[in-house]
Structure 1
Amino acid sequence: MSDLRLLENKVIVITGASSGIGAAAARLFAAEGAAVVVTARRQGHLDALAEEIRRRGGQATAVVADVALSADMARVVARAVEEYGRLDGALNNAGWATAGTRVHETDDAVFDRVLDVNLRGVWNCLKHQLPAMLAAGRGGSIVNTASVAGVLATGATASYVAAKHAVIGLTKAAADEYAADGIRVNSLVVGSTRTELMTDIISHTPSLEEAFTGRSLQKRMADPDEVAQAAAWLCSDRSSFVTGTALPVDGGWTAA
C-alpha cells in the first residue's frame, strides 16, 4: 500500500459544502491531500470553511454558486481549472428535501425546487465537470450523493424519492458513457444523517426521527464524516475498479 494520502494531488469540486456531508467531505478530502473547490449558496459558511482548511495546511477555494444554474456550475469548474490546472474529481452533494406532505398536498413550486436541486443540479455538475476531465486526459472520479430514497419510499416527499431514483439512473448512464475515457461515476445511497437539513426536517415533523433511526439496523443516524469517508474512497484511485454503483452508506437500512 502506498504511503501517499488517499487523495494526494487530486483537484476535487464539492457542492453543498456549506454544512453537513459537504463540509465534512471538504475537511477530510483536504486532509487526505486534495485541493478542494467548495461551493454552495452561503458565502459566509464557505469562506469560513476554506479558511479553516487553509489554516490546517490544506488547499481550498470557495466559490458561491447554485447547482440549479448551469452557468454557475460552469463557473465553478472554470475556477477549479484556473486555480489548480485541472479537475480530477467531484462530490456532487448539494440537496434539498421536504417531508410530511403527500403527492396531492405538494405545491408545484416545491416539486420544481426539489427536482432543480437534486436532479438538475447533478445534471448541471456533470455537464461541466466531464468536459474538464476529458480535456485533462487523466480520467477522473465523480460521486453523486443519492439516498435510500433513491431505492425505497422513505417518508420523504414523493418528489424527493423520484429525484433520487433519477440520480442513480443518471449515474449509471454516465458511468457507461465515460468508462472508456477512464472516468468513473458512482453514487452513494445515503441513509439518515445528522445534517443541518435533517435537523430542520425533524424540527417540523418530530416523529420522523424515530421513524428514520428505526429503519437503520444500527438504530442511529450517521455522522456526516461517516458518509464523507465513503465518498473519499470512491474519489480515490483505491476504488479503481468501481464504477456505475450505488453504494449504500445507510446503517443497513436497504439490507432490511
Structure 2
Amino acid sequence: KTSKDGEAAEDLSDASVKSKSQAFWARWGGSKAVDSASLQTGRGNRAVSRSLRDAREDAVCVVRCGKKGGSGMLVEFKGHVGLLTNNHVVPTKRDAKSATTTYHTALKGSVAVPLSPADAFCSSPPEELDYSFVACASPSGVVPVPLAMRRADDDADEERGDGLVCLEDVEVKAGDSITIVQHPEGCEKSIAIGPVVRVQGSEVTYEADTEAGSSGAPVLKDYVPVALHHMAPRGG
C-alpha cells in the first residue's frame, strides 16, 4: 500500500493490528482505584534478574524529532525490529525520516540508529492510543522486546481486551509497583518507580516522577512492558 506522503510501506494497520477502540497494550481489571494512603509499592511484584533489568534498560532510547523529543523502546513485532514511542513524539512517516534515536548501553556505549519508516510504520493519534511504531535496524548489543497481538476471545476474557502485549504477558493492577525507564528532558537515562493507582480501559494511572522528554517511555512491571508513558494528568 502507499502512505499519505506517497511512499510504499508494509501495512501494519490491518484488522490484526487496528488501533481504534483497542488498547495498544492489553489492559486488565476495572476502574477501581486504591486510596493513596494505602498504596503499597511492590505489592504483586517479583524479583527480577540483573541481566533482564540491564537488557530492558539498554532497549530504551532518547528520541529527537525536529524540535520535539521523547523516549522510546526497541521492540520486535510481526518480523520487524523498530522503535515504539508516542505518536505526539513521532507523528508521521515524514517526521520519522528525520528523527534520530540514540541508545545509551552498558557495554556498547552510545549507539545512534536511524529510522526506516518506508519499511514499516503504524500509529494511533494522541487522542486515541498515542503510539508510533517505526522500523529500524537492530542496534549492536541491544535486544528488542518481542510483542504479540492479543484478542479478547483468545482466552475468553473480554475484560482484558484486545491489544499488543509483551510475550511475557503479566497482569497489572492497582497497588502494583511500576518502573519507568526514561530520558527526561533529553538528558541521561533515569528510572522512576511508583505505585499503580488505577487501571481503567486502555489507561493505567500511576504515581511516578516524569518530565518533558519522558513521553514514549515504557512503563514496566517486573521489567515487562505494560504501557507507554503518555503524559501527566493536567492539574495534578
- TM-score scaled by length of structure 1: 0.27
Greater percentage in strand: 2
Greater percentage in helix: 1
- TM-score scaled by length of structure 2: 0.29
Greater relative contact order: 1 or 2 (C-alpha under 8 angstroms, separation 6 or more)? 2
